[in-house]
Structure 1
């Protein structure tokens, strides 16, 4: 009788252990599913290839932005638009003169109106001024560029190199930091 009772108790232990294991395994799956729901994935809500945007004001083209790829992350708490394969921007002034901005990567933050250009950033103006750097920020609201990275600024054969520069969109106001080079006034 005791042997039969021991077998029943052993069977109950095995059954209880099996049930507990199944319960824990199924709970783990549910916990992982809940975790997935609570994590916002960093996936774009929109994507465009061979992107070509023309910005107009009062019927006049003010800028043309061309990029091989645009990713829209406007659904996030801090929305942004990413151009992982770079941008080529043509900017027109009121007289129709063209200036050009290129970079290997760009990201535009909607909330702060800040654009981060990086990777071989180059600005060339219609009158021959050129700025080259590895990273450059543009404050759209104040129409102001700035960087703390090394840069090279060329104007009519004069070359200035340095670390850190701030300047207005039209290059009329420049605030250079650590500079080297010769510049004729």
Structure 2
């Protein structure tokens, strides 16, 4: 009888390590919190982006993991010649699986040539080195000219912008 009981107990045990890890962690709560973040994205030993933020919440405990920056970010982007462009936003989310940064609230982009773009939301694709949005944008070029549009797309060098307005499109080469 003892052998039967021990055998039954051994076969009824299961590996629930993930469940044990989740004890005390609510589904909607972050698994971690960090302050004064200085995150660098590199490729082949070269810094391509540097994200700075006063606070980060880690939601890697979710099936689609992400990091949230509720107090805003300062993002430095570097091209092949190490020219620096800057993006600031009131709020941001970095999606781990896609390497997309969703920038929200008073987004300002200042290129290395001092052209400035203003938007309420902007996305930065770290893999493709591309900035884009489908919300209204306003440009202020270093030359003094200005522009507006509804959709914006640009490479990391900001040499070539595509600005879509209504049904037409405008390409701006600097």
TM range (shorter): 0.7 to 0.9
Instruction: Tell me the SS of whatever aligns to 1:96.
Output: coil
Shift >6 Å, 4+ stretches: none
Q: How does 1:39-118 map to 2 (within 5 A)?
A: 41-57=27-43, 59-118=45-104
CA distance in 2, matches of 1:55, 1:141: 10
Q: For residue 137 of structure 2, give the secondary structure of its aligned residue in structure 1.
A: strand
SS state of the match for residue 165, structure 1? strand
Of 146, 163, 172, which residue of structure 1 is paired with 2:150?
Answer: 163
Rate the CA distance shift 1:121–1:62 in 2: closer, same or farther, 3 A: same
Structure 2 runs not aligned, ≥5 long? 1-22, 167-171
Indicate if the aligned counterparts of 1:130 and 1:154 stay in contact, CA closer than 8 A.
Answer: yes
Kept in 2: contact 1:100–1:123 (CA 8 A): yes
Deviations 1:23-77 (A, max 9, x none): xxxxxxxxxxxxxx8x952111111112122444555544332111001111101
Partner of 1:154: 140
TM-aligned CA deviation for residue 84 of structure 1: 0.6
Q: Which one has a bigger Cα radius of gyration?
A: 1
2 CA distance for matches of 1:141 and 1:97?
A: 18
Q: CA deviation at 1:184?
A: 10
Is the alpha carbon distance of 1:144 and 1:59 closer, same or farther for their aligned partners in structure 2, counting shifts above 3 Å? Answer: closer
User: Does the alignment pair 1:125 with 2:111?
Assistant: yes
C-alpha contact (below 8 Å) 2:102/2:124 kept by paired residues: yes
Q: Map of 1:9-28 to 2, 5 A cutoff?
A: none
TM-score (norm 1): 0.69
CA RMSD of aligned residues (A): 2.5
